């Protein structure tokens, strides 16, 4: 098994095909990549390779590490030979149970959104926005005043443009004689824009699956644009009793999710004959970039 360590980073790539590969993930690979979540560190490199390769033609696995402690993180990325192969792997189920350990598989979400935050009052926001637009086609651009400074949300048409903007803007504005700015990918890992819905699977099955992607989207669309609805599924790809609703990866998406929670004091909703509980999807406090206030009171729910 070949092992590739990306210099100066917290990533390690393993490959058992005998072919030469590049470490890390390039743009093409992200389109056929599966996000792996679970206690992966318990398995050896050979074991995790065999587990994932049984489902399809696997090219490589990218493991992630804590750069300070050196410990392996609870997620990884598996790259398959093609997008069709990746789809076949997911069609076999999003949960793998092995040795009393559960591993979750999800299609990698390719965010094209970045955010520049804690922008001080002396930084020319118009100049920064103009510079951001030079990296590619901008689909959406928002500015919001949040504690600690202004935040600029930018959505690009292509992931590659977003990657170049994230790197380029950081160097452009924080270099010699520049301004100190903070840039991150804007997604549900750090934004309060995702809701967790829980319902009883057995009741939903008996009712003809009234809780589904269409019914959830219609219900939550009243609060803002729903980007995706994801269900936890078993090995037979059957829907379990958990779903996640993600709004846009920007300030509007946060307002949509947080406003919904404010309007739902009992944190329960009715979809057809099924009662569901709703809460904000928990995110690590160290990842959350800010506490948002929309003018409707403190909306930093947990």
CATH number at residue 202: 3.30.70.330
**47 within 8 A of 16, measured Cβ to Cβ:** no
What does the pLDDT read at residue 176? Answer: 47
Show pLDDT as tens, one digit a residue, over the chain (302 residues).
555 554 445 788 888 888 877 777 777 788 899 988 888 889 999 999 999 999 999 999 999 887 777 788 888 899 999 999 998 998 888 888 888 888 888 887 677 888 887 777 777 788 888 888 888 889 889 887 765 678 888 989 887 788 788 877 876 665 445 566 778 888 777 778 889 999 999 999 999 999 999 999 999 999 999 988 988 877 666 788 999 999 988 888 888 998 898 888 778 999 999 999 999 876 544 444 444 433 333 333 22
H-helix or E-strand containing 102?
strand 101-107
Residues 36 and 133 in one domain: no
| CA 43 remoteness from chain centre | 24
Residue 175 CA to residue 201 CA, distance in Å, equals 54
Answer yes or no: do 66 and 126 share one domain. no
Residues 163 and 210 in one domain: no
Whether residue 167 sits in one domain with residue 103: no
Residue with structure tokens 């103009």? 130
Is residue 29 within 8 Å of residue 77, measured between CB atoms? no
Rounded alpha-carbon distances, angstroms, from residue 159 to 78, 114, 130, 216, 222 = 19, 10, 19, 27, 28
What pLDDT score was predicted for residue 3? 53
In a domain, 297, yes or no: no
Q: How far is CA 39 from CA 13, 101, 104, 134, in A?
A: 17, 7, 10, 42
Tell me if 239 is assigned to some domain: yes
Q: Which range of residues forms the domain containing residue 74?
A: 2-107
Q: In what order do the strands lie in the sheet with 274-280?
A: 226-233, 239-247, 194-198, 274-280, 268-271
Q: Does residue 179 belong to any structural domain of this protein?
A: yes
Asked whether residue 84 is assigned to any structural domain, the reply reads yes
Pair 203, 273 in one domain: yes
Q: Does 206 lie in the same domain as 232?
A: yes
Q: Which residue has the tokens 């590739």?
A: 4
Of residues 215, 205, 149, 228, the one with CA closest to residue 181: 149
Q: What is the distance between the alpha carbons of residues 83 and 70, in angstroms, rounded to a whole number?
A: 32
**pLDDT for the residue numbered 285:** 44
For the chain, how many structural domains are there in total? 3
Tell me, yes or no, whether 165 and 251 share the same domain: no
Nearest to 96 by CA among 42, 147, 29: 42
Three-state secondary structure call for residue 217: helix
Do 211 and 255 have their domain in common? Answer: yes
Instruction: For residue 102, give the nearest of 166, 40, 14, 57 by alpha carbon.
Output: 40
Is 299 contained in some domain?
A: no
**Are 103 and 117 part of one and the same domain?**
no
Last-in-domain residue among 123, 152, 185 = 185
Cβ–Cβ < 8 Å for 138, 132 = yes
Domain closes at, from 185, 204, 228: 185
**What confidence score (pLDDT) does residue 302 get?**
24
Strand pairing of 149-156 and 138-146? Answer: antiparallel
Last residue of a domain, one of 45, 79, 107: 107
Residues 28 and 95 in one domain: yes
The phi, psi pair for 118, rounded to 5°, reads 55, 40
Helix/strand/coil for 146: strand
Helices and strands: H and E segment counts in the chain: 8, 16
> Do residues 204 and 250 share a domain?
yes
Which tokens in the block code for residue 196?
């967790």
Assess if residue 172 is contained within a domain: yes
Instruction: Find, among 81, 18, 14, the residue nearest to 48 by Cα.
Output: 14
In a domain, 14, yes or no: yes
CB neighbours of residue 297 within 10 Å: 8
Q: Does the residue 8 lie in any domain? A: yes
């Amino acid at each position: 098994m070949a092992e590739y360590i990306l210099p100066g980073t917290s990533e390690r790539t393993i490959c058992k095909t005998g072919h030469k590969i590049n470490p890390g993930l390039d743009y093409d690979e992200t389109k056929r990549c599966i996000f792996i979540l679970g206690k992966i560190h318990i398995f050896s490199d050979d074991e995790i390779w065999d587990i994932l390769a049984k489902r399809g033609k696997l090219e490589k696995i990218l493991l992630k590490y804590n750069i300070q402690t050196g410990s392996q993180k609870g997620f990884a990325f598996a790259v398959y030979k093609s997008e069709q192969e990746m789809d076949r792997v997911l069609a076999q189920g999003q949960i793998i149970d092995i040795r009393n350990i559960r591993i979750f598989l999800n299609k990698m979400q390719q965010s094209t959104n970045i955010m520049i935050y804690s922008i001080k009052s002396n930084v020319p926001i118009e100049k920064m926005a103009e510079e951001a637009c030079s990296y590619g086609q901008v689909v959406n651009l928002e500015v919001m005043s949040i504690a600690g400074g202004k935040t600029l949300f930018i959505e690009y048409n292509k992931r590659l443009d977003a990657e170049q903007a994230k790197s380029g803007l950081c160097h452009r504005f924080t270099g010699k004689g520049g301004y100190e700015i903070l840039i991150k990918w804007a997604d549900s890992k750090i934004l309060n824009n995702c809701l967790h819905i829980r319902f009883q699977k057995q009741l939903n099955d008996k009712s003809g699956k009234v809780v589904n992607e269409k019914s959830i989207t219609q219900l939550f669309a009243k609060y803002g644009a729903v980007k995706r609805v994801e269900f936890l599924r078993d090995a037979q790809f059957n829907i379990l009793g958990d779903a996640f609703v993600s709004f846009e990866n920007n300030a509007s998406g946060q307002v949509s999710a947080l406003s919904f929670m404010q309007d739902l004091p009992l944190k329960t909703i009715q979809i057809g004959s099924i009662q569901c509980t709703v809460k904000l999807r928990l995110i690590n406090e160290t990842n959350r970039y800010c506490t948002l206030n929309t003018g409707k009171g403190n909306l930093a729910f947990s």
